[in-house]
Structure 1
Amino acid sequence: MSSNFQSIPIIDLSLANSPATRSGLLQQLHQALIEVGFLYVSNHEVPQNVVSDLKEVLPRLFNLDLEHKEKVALYNSPPFLGLQPNRLRNNRRTEALGIPPDLLFSLLSDQHRLKLVHYPPSDPSTDSIGQGVGPHKDSSGWWTFLLQASPPNVQGLQALNKNGDWIDIPVIQDTFVVNIGQAFEVVTHGVCKATTHRVLSEPLERFSVPFFQGVRGNLTKSEALDMLKGYLSAELSSAETDIGANIDSAFLRGKYDTWGESQLRTKIRSHRNVGQRFYGDVFEKYTEDDS
């Protein structure tokens, strides 16, 4: 688990533009990667009109009638992409760990995912459950870039620190929230943690737009574990225990050797109606396999 942080650091990417401030930026980023697993990025150079237009269209999208929503429903999608009913690529990170950018990018695929998420308002006096997201790590990607597309008074996102405290990740205008996915935790042998987080149900409706970087499907366990060993020797040797062995990963602990097959199994088990409809040849194999 990540360290006993009490807040999420804000990383100003414009500091990379000057040799005088670049090393300080990399030091801040290194600390965020190793000790927190979550961070904000500011001065990210994503055009403001792109962000504003997206925020404006989200309520209209989720207010469409059911007939329109059915046309893009997830259960009609073999790649598990689509509407599900309620229930940046940046070189500076690699440098922060002393790893050549091209080496890390060789692990990525060109199949990334962007989701548009709506959390309806919840009245605690009448709705004891509400819609949120329980504690989890981002299991299907490399890094996650999140636009919290609601006003600053709308809360909900929290990250878990080592002490077991839930730390709020409030909306900060003109930033993205960035967090580590399980694939990055795997290849760094747990040095960089995929921090557990959740979303609480709130009285105000909430919109968010997460972008999940994809990992190439033919990545094998041995390749994932061997590729970065030489670059992380200092962090690994200073660890008190074999932290890599304790990574919570269906990829490492499952019996399938490639990232792609491990992810397909996870998707089919999570969305069984889609799996049964489009992947009948392997549906029983994955749903009855509890390894």
Structure 2
Amino acid sequence: MSFTSIPIIDLSLASSPQTRPHLLRKLHHALTSVGFLYVSNHGVPSTVISDLVQALPILFALPPEAKEEIALHNSPHFLGYSAVGAETTAGKEDRREQVEFATELEDRWSEGKERGEERLLYERLKGPNQWPSQYPALRPIVEAYIRELTALGNRFLRLVAEALFLPPETFFPFLSDQHRLKLVRYPPTSASSSSTTTTQGVGPHKDSSGWWTFLLQASPPEIKGLQALNQSGDWIDVPTIPGTFVVNIGQAFEVVTHGVCRATTHRVLLSSDMRQDRLSVPFFQGVRGNLTKKEAVETLTEHFRGLAEGTEEEEKGERSAIDAPFLKGKYDTWGEAQLRTKIRSHRDVGRMFYADVYDAYINDN
């Protein structure tokens, strides 16, 4: 049956042998029938969350020159600031400005060969962040948040494995050493008529930036916009619930689980009667770039072959049109599929740093 609401999973139930089985049953249902869920009692300190929430309006109120200092077009790693309309989803401009950060890593990529082997271009996605010099307090706030969300992701993955009848560490070999974080502001839209209209905040998509996504909806509950697409083709609201994260499946996890756990299509719609910013913070649990489609499909084939019986479903309507190069086998490695997605979303950065592959990725439809 198609879901009509998003389940809430209380992670504190994992601590007791009496309540853990109930949590695992509820999590199994969310994994296999919804693809979206909330987690409560998640263990991330409230001060880490509140520090980041309080930093968002300060960050986005910085003057244009401070934002230009950390502009995304300075970074071959696609890290930094992008203005409203700078990113596209489903071929349309998204109405959001954002700053993208990641686990801090050195830039170790250079052209040419290393130990006789060609350096893989997607490895260039890894590298350092850009930090605004006019807001030095931001860095420790963001880095603390990334550390805590990385730890939450690890705790959650162990529960996911158990809910799918697997050893707790099963999914860890698929992870990258770099996870990504976006700080996002959706500004209010202006009403063009007396009737309420909607604008694309971010278009329909399945998350291609990670293994799992952990979303903090940082605006008051009355600021709506996030919706998930159910199996019947209906858009279901995902409202803000204080004290929770929204968690959803990424494309690579769908591949590894043979579609038993599907990445759910979702979007953000902005209403013309919205009178204040919508603020959100998605954290994308990273997948290692050298994960091949063959490895992703074959590693857990025997386990998920039995579970997959009866789950095969033809993608229809809006879901079938979602750009999903790794799911559909266009590229052999997760890293190349990820690079291609980044270039198509931020074409100015792609032209500047990836000219050799730009045309191929843009025109591969």
TM-score, normalized by length of structure 2? 0.74
8 Å Cα contact 1:86/1:131 also seen in 2: no
Does the alignment pair 1:49 with 2:47?
Answer: yes
Shift of the 242–288 alpha-carbon distance from structure 1 to 2, 3 Å rule, reads closer
8 Å Cα contact 2:221/2:240 also seen in 1: yes
Does the alignment pair 1:278 with 2:353?
Answer: yes
Shift of the 53–160 alpha-carbon distance from structure 1 to 2, 3 Å rule, reads same
8 Å Cα contact 2:259/2:311 also seen in 1: no
Runs (5+) with no aligned partner, structure 2: 86-151
The structural deviation recorded for 1:248 is: 6.6
Query: 1:166-202 CA distances to partner (integer Å, 9 max, x unpaired)?
Result: 1111111110000001111111111111111111113
Does the alignment pair 1:134 with 2:132?
Answer: no
Give the equivalent residue in structure 1 for 2:142: none
Secondary structure in structure 2 of the residue aligned to 1:83: strand
Runs (5+) with no aligned partner, structure 1: none
Give the equivalent residue in structure 1 for 2:71: 73
The structural deviation recorded for 1:286 is: 2.5
Shift of the 275–219 alpha-carbon distance from structure 1 to 2, 3 Å rule, reads same
In structure 2, what is the Cα distance between the partners aligned to 1:33 and 1:23?
A: 15
The letter for the 2-side match of 1:24 is: H
The letter for the 1-side match of 2:72 is: L
Moved more, 122-131 or 229-238: 122-131
In structure 2, what is the Cα distance between the partners aligned to 1:116 and 1:187?
A: 28
In structure 2, what is the Cα distance between the partners aligned to 1:64 and 1:137?
A: 31
**Match for 2:291 among 219, 226, 232?**
219
In structure 2, what is the Cα distance between the partners aligned to 1:49 and 1:125?
A: 40
The structural deviation recorded for 1:288 is: 3.6
Moved more, 178-187 or 250-259: 250-259
Give the equivalent residue in structure 1 for 2:307: 235
Report sequence identity in percent.
64
The structural deviation recorded for 1:281 is: 2.7
Aligned length: 286
Does the alignment pair 1:205 with 2:268?
Answer: no
The letter for the 2-side match of 1:99 is: L
Q: How does 1:143-182 map to 2 (within 5 A)?
A: 143-182=212-251
The letter for the 2-side match of 1:117 is: V
In structure 1, what is the Cα distance between the partners aligned to 2:313 and 2:234?
A: 23
Give the equivalent residue in structure 2 for 1:103: 170
Give the equivalent residue in structure 1 for 2:179: 112
The structural deviation recorded for 1:242 is: 8.1
Shift of the 281–63 alpha-carbon distance from structure 1 to 2, 3 Å rule, reads same
Secondary structure in structure 1 of the residue aligned to 2:174: coil
Structure 1 vs Structure 2 CA RMSD: 2.0
8 Å Cα contact 1:37/1:194 also seen in 2: yes
The structural deviation recorded for 1:250 is: 0.4
**Match for 2:340 among 242, 265, 271?**
265
Shift of the 286–135 alpha-carbon distance from structure 1 to 2, 3 Å rule, reads closer
8 Å Cα contact 1:122/1:131 also seen in 2: no
The letter for the 2-side match of 1:141 is: G
Does the alignment pair 1:184 with 2:253?
Answer: yes
Give the equivalent residue in structure 2 for 1:287: 362
Shift of the 187–58 alpha-carbon distance from structure 1 to 2, 3 Å rule, reads same
Secondary structure in structure 1 of the residue aligned to 2:170: helix
8 Å Cα contact 1:73/1:84 also seen in 2: yes
Secondary structure in structure 2 of the residue aligned to 1:230: helix
In structure 1, what is the Cα distance between the partners aligned to 2:61 and 2:347?
A: 27
The structural deviation recorded for 1:44 is: 0.5
TM-score, normalized by length of structure 1? 0.92
Shift of the 79–170 alpha-carbon distance from structure 1 to 2, 3 Å rule, reads same
The structural deviation recorded for 1:5 is: 0.7
Secondary structure in structure 1 of the residue aligned to 2:81: coil
Shift of the 131–120 alpha-carbon distance from structure 1 to 2, 3 Å rule, reads farther
The letter for the 2-side match of 1:189 is: H
Give the equivalent residue in structure 2 for 1:195: 264
